[in-house]
Amino acid sequence: MNEEKYLIAGIEDKIKQCEERYMVTNTAFFDMNRRSMAEIYVKKNHINNAVFYGGYDNAERCCMVLIPDYISAESVLGDDSDENSEDNPLTAVRVTCLSGSGKLTHRDYLGAILGLGIKREVVGDILVNAEGADIVVMKEISDYIINNFSKAGHAELSVHEIKLCDIRQTESKMITKSDTVASMRLDTIAASIFGLSRTAAANAVKAGLVFVNHRQIDKVDYRIIPDDVIVYRGKGKAVILEEGGRSRKDRIYIKYGKYV
């Protein structure tokens, strides 16, 4: 509860700045849990000028950008053909490994960045590739990262800023699977996808570990429909592809894609 109050107070402060100063304001990056709380607040209070934005489509870590009514979201955040807007709070840096053995992981990059004294809340998604990584960051810290982020693990690094539209998104592999379930309740679907007992899945939902379409859902009987994206924090991510007919035992056929 204290975390939620602190989060909401920060959001309200950014909303007030946007309204009183007629300027673009933004929060820090949210993880899935905080984004869920922020989205509920925005919907409940009818905040129409808030955009959840992580630098590229389907970003996992997003900040909330508050945009005054005299300008459009497109002019601030741009599109795939635009340069990074001056008002855009985010930018990206491209990290290239120059030397060192072994491929660096997400944890390697994040640990090295935090080792520079940078807070996690100003760093967005880290998209690892064969040559290095593209990292979304708050624009205010980009120069510091470029000038100081020179090593991760045993690897020497080269870092430069890139346009957000040039981010190389990691292609996630998806395995398609089928199953039958007793119902389309969240606990039942989560149990099927993540190989859990019904009780364990229900406990995970009640504990706030399961997200549907970026929203934290704590109701075990929440109904899942095709195209819903389900994330069990720390365990995996899947999308419901199809809800089919029923078996002879009156169970529902489902098809889902699980990211690996």
The CATH architecture one would assign to domain 2-72 is: 2-Layer Sandwich (3.30)
The position carrying tokens 């508050």 is 66
Q: Does 238 or 260 have the greater pLDDT score?
A: 238
Candidate ranges 27-41, 110-124, 204-218; pick with highest mean pLDDT: 110-124
pLDDT at 102: 65
50-80 residue pLDDT tens:
999 999 988 989 999 999 999 989 889 876 4
Which CATH number is correct for 174-259, 3.40.50.300, 3.40.50.360, 3.10.290.10, 1.10.3720.10?
Answer: 3.10.290.10
95-135 residue pLDDT tens:
999 876 568 999 999 999 999 999 999 999 999 998 999 99
Q: Provide the residue ranges of all domains of the chain, joining segments of one domain with +.
A: 2-72, 90-166, 174-259
pLDDT at 100: 67
Burial 104-141 (b: 16+ CB within 10 A, else e): beeebbbebbeeeebeeebbbbbbbeeebbbbbbbbeb
**Mean residue pLDDT across the chain:** 92
CATH class of the domain whose range is 90-166? alpha beta
pLDDT of 146 above 50: yes
pLDDT at 84: 65
Residue 243 token pair: 């809800």
DSSP state for residue 141 in the 8-state scheme? G
Indicate the pLDDT class of residue 81, thresholds 50, 70 and 90. very low
Indicate the pLDDT class of residue 201, thresholds 50, 70 and 90. very high
**Mean pLDDT score, 5-18:** 95
- Burial class, 250, CB count within 10 angstroms (exposed 0-12 / middle 13-18 / buried 19+): exposed
pLDDT of 2 above 90: no
Residue 242 token pair: 């199809």
pLDDT at 212: 94
Q: How far is CA 209 from CA 220, 226, 230, 241, in A?
A: 12, 21, 11, 22
Could you tell me which residues come within 8 angstroms of residue 200 by beta carbon, excluding any fewer than 6 positions away?
Answer: 191
pLDDT at 175: 94
Structure pTM? 0.82
Strand locations in 62-194, DSSP E?
63-66, 90-99, 123-128, 132-138, 151-152, 155-162, 174-181
State the maximum Cα–Cα separation within the chain, in Å, rounded to a whole number: 65
Question: What DSSP string runs through 228-239?
Answer: -EEEETTTEEEE
pLDDT of 205 above 50: yes
Sign of the four-CA dihedral 116, 122, 126, 131: negative
pLDDT of 203 above 80: yes
Beta pairing partners, 18: none
**Mean pLDDT score, 138-165:** 94
